[in-house]
Structure 1
Amino acid sequence: MPTAHQENDPFEDRLGAALRQTGDTFDTDRPALIAAGHHRGRTLRLRRRAAVAGGAASIALVGIAGALVLPGSGSGGDAREQQAVGSGPRTSAPATSAATRAVSAERMIATLRQLLPEGAVSGAEGSGGGGVATPSVRLVYDDGEGGGAIAVSLNRVEPGSRTAREAIACPDKVYVPHDSCTSSRLSDGSVLMLFQGYEYPDRRVDTRLWRAELVTPEGEQISVSEWNAEAEKDAPVTRPEPPLSLQELRKVATASQWRALVPAEAGDPNKPETTTQPSAPAATFNGSAVDTLVTLLPKKAEVVSKGGEGDFGYVVVDDGRGQSLVQINVQPRMGDVAGELFTGAGTLPDGTLVSTRKTPGEKGGEGVVMWTADTLRTDGLRVVISAFNSGSQHTAATREAPALTLGQLRELALDPMWPTLLD
């Protein structure tokens, strides 16, 4: 996953997961990065604030040698494996600490092996975890029609938290092109998201990514991903679609066996940090960035569509010359990164830092350019707005230049309305 404050694209982390967390969101949905230390924890929260649903982080794996062949019943594994992955009552095992819930790599592999239909498995790798670690497993499954990679990761999130909601929210097609996505509530109160899309949003390689995300009312998160290639990236396509049908993918993700293996504590970068000394409350953004942006746009920029919530959003506008994507991100408390993000920036009489730039689009759309105005006020409020000469970063340019000039973007970012939306 790119750094939280990419100099050339402040919205980098929104495009991916996601997918989760997604997100490389599996930019992606692959388990989320875990914060380490006070400064990194804060950085990750800002990164997630800038993330689009759907994303995910790379799975850390420990190699397990040998190939496995699945029996026809789909319930492979010897008696000891069956006992290990059984779905008995969770209350029968002590769970007084994260250490008591540590899961071996072998057990993760055995559980996935048990749940797969008839076929052959090779290249199985897994990682166990305890506390905030994320147990995971990855293997290549072949049903006779070609091998495809399958990955599972387990996490615990705070029920009802932003992380939990993002995990099971379908991504916006403006940022994550896909064929289908549904999010539904199951009879036990869990929410299941089923996603059918692509590993590469620009489709430069036709590697398909299908993903299931399950979040239970208790905060157990099960992420299952599959590809129509033997690796998610840099591997030739081996079959038209991933090996598991959508119904089979659903069955694996909702299997009760996983729930007993979920970490006892959440690995949630949005979890508030504990401090030894009380501190004054910091300003937070309390408004809708996209709704505010709409009110400030030039009249000739007709809004075709919009999306986002809170401090991030986008609009697609058309001034009669073609569609143009405009993104807005409002970030309070960013004064400590002024030296990192605003080197060489201009300074207004009131101390506000202002930077403007024109760069190529970075998401694969042919001929796409991105124009950006980035501002940082003395109270730490950062407002950054980018415009593109296409209605999406992933599609070819539809016009020579964005619908808004650099001067207009600068004026929008400096509008006095933004500070009034802080608490």
Structure 2
Amino acid sequence: SASHLIKTLEGLLPDGKFSSESGRGTEDGLGPLASVVFDDGKGKAAIGLSLGRVDPEGTGVAEQLACPEKVYTPYDSCSSKTLADGSRLLLLQGYEYPDKRADTKWWHAYVVTPEGYTVDASEWNAPAEKGEPVSRDEPPLSTAQLKALVTSKEWRPILRALPKPQDEPVQQPVPQAAGGDTILKNLTSLLPKSAKVTTRQGEDGFAYVVVNDGKGASLVQINAQPNMSDVEGELFGSGAQTLPDGTKVVTHQGPGEKGGQGVVMWTVDTIRKDGFRVVISAFNSGAQNTAATRTTPALTMTQLKAIATSGKWRG
């Protein structure tokens, strides 16, 4: 029951006062969870924990256990490792808001057992996840305490009451996006020689680099995806330029999207006649959520257009 989960959570926390308890039991279709506001005498802090069951080899599990890219999600520390019993554990000390517009810290632990049982715990240095001012410098539980909380054997009887996860639906084969290594190789080969790469990362259909031409760090990100004709009408309207080979091009220059102070975003978006889309953006900062490091991005709009329309993407 919900009350049993709440009692179990409170029993695993250090001495303190509890308020604002809420929860769901194993019968709830949304899955069991418990949340409390905990006060150890140093300020109220929200703590929440949920239980689940997944296919441990299913798609998405590895992604949830991976430390996020710091370029997009700032954090103070993160570790992902396999424990002695074969469980995989993620421990993260980060922030509720990637742009840090508030001082709310979010510390997180997530474990997946070999059987596919999951325990997901979060804590904040405020009485609520959002909308409340911080009440203490840091959340109350250390990473060691968070690990002990999610790996506690007290959760096992509750986890065993959970139904098996439904089989993932069979996906119909679709044209595959280019691999991250290929996109990175193409992107770096098309950069101007003045743009020295300091950081790089790629995955299917996407890659980014941080470059520096001696005037400050500049993030450059690119997507290369087939089968995007369904967005052509929406994104490539009457203002689009059509090249001799039928490729449509639109450009955008405006503020960044992640709250970094003074950050601007320059974008060139292209789509080939067969629906193959390449969109590239450059920023005047090494990350979207940190303040500008320079006046303009390291690449001009002309250089961005040359990269996006290059024949290398169809090679």
The residue aligned with 2:163 is 264
How many angstroms apart in 1 are the aligned matches of 2:205 and 2:255?
A: 25
Kindly provide the amino acid, as one letter, of the partner of residue 216 in structure 2.
G
1:284 aligns with 2:147: no
The residue aligned with 2:149 is 252
Cα offset, 1:143, TM superposition: 1.4
1:147 aligns with 2:44: yes
How many angstroms apart in 2 are the aligned matches of 1:132 and 1:411?
A: 51
The residue aligned with 2:62 is 165
Instruction: Check the 8 A contact 1:157/1:266 in 2, yes or no.
Output: yes
How many angstroms apart in 1 are the aligned matches of 2:232 and 2:31?
A: 33
* Secondary structure at 1:169 match in 2: coil
Cα offset, 1:397, TM superposition: 1.1
Q: Check 1:292–1:157 CA distance in 2 against 1; reply closer, same or farther (3 A cut).
A: farther
Normalised by the length of structure 2, the TM-score is 0.89
Kindly provide the amino acid, as one letter, of the partner of residue 141 in structure 1.
F
* Secondary structure at 2:311 match in 1: coil
Cα offset, 1:265, TM superposition: 4.2
* Secondary structure at 2:60 match in 1: helix
The number of aligned residues is 310
Instruction: Check the 8 A contact 1:363/1:393 in 2, yes or no.
Output: yes
Q: Check 1:240–1:131 CA distance in 2 against 1; reply closer, same or farther (3 A cut).
A: closer
The residue aligned with 2:218 is 324
Q: Which runs of 5+ in 1 are unaligned?
A: 1-103
Kindly provide the amino acid, as one letter, of the partner of residue 214 in structure 1.
V
* Secondary structure at 1:111 match in 2: helix
Instruction: Check the 8 A contact 1:368/1:389 in 2, yes or no.
Output: yes
Using the TM superposition, name which of 364-373 and 284-293 deviates more. Answer: 284-293
How many angstroms apart in 2 are the aligned matches of 1:131 and 1:417?
A: 52
The residue aligned with 1:353 is 248
Normalised by the length of structure 1, the TM-score is 0.68
1:336 aligns with 2:233: no
The residue aligned with 2:13 is 116
- Correspondence 1:4-403 to 2 at 5 A: 104-128=1-25, 133-262=30-159, 263-266=162-165, 271-273=168-170, 281-288=173-180, 289-344=183-238, 345-403=240-298
Q: Check 1:359–1:134 CA distance in 2 against 1; reply closer, same or farther (3 A cut).
A: farther
Q: Check 1:342–1:231 CA distance in 2 against 1; reply closer, same or farther (3 A cut).
A: farther
The residue aligned with 1:98 is none
Kindly provide the amino acid, as one letter, of the partner of residue 284 in structure 1.
Q
Cα offset, 1:264, TM superposition: 2.9
Instruction: Check the 8 A contact 2:254/2:265 in 1, yes or no.
Output: yes
How many angstroms apart in 1 are the aligned matches of 2:224 and 2:157?
A: 40
Using the TM superposition, name which of 192-201 and 376-385 deviates more. Answer: 376-385
How many angstroms apart in 1 are the aligned matches of 2:228 and 2:27?
A: 33
Instruction: Check the 8 A contact 1:132/1:266 in 2, yes or no.
Output: no
Kindly provide the amino acid, as one letter, of the partner of residue 283 in structure 2.
F
Instruction: Check the 8 A contact 1:132/1:265 in 2, yes or no.
Output: no
* Secondary structure at 2:134 match in 1: coil
How many angstroms apart in 2 are the aligned matches of 1:193 and 1:128?
A: 25
Q: Check 1:220–1:355 CA distance in 2 against 1; reply closer, same or farther (3 A cut).
A: farther
How many angstroms apart in 1 are the aligned matches of 2:114 and 2:19?
A: 34
How many angstroms apart in 2 are the aligned matches of 1:332 and 1:369?
A: 28
Task: Tell me which of 292, 304, 308 is aligned to 1:413.
Answer: 308
The residue aligned with 1:65 is none
Kindly provide the amino acid, as one letter, of the partner of residue 232 in structure 1.
E
Instruction: Check the 8 A contact 2:42/2:136 in 1, yes or no.
Output: yes
How many angstroms apart in 1 are the aligned matches of 2:285 and 2:2?
A: 45
Q: Check 1:114–1:308 CA distance in 2 against 1; reply closer, same or farther (3 A cut).
A: farther
Kindly provide the amino acid, as one letter, of the partner of residue 385 in structure 1.
I
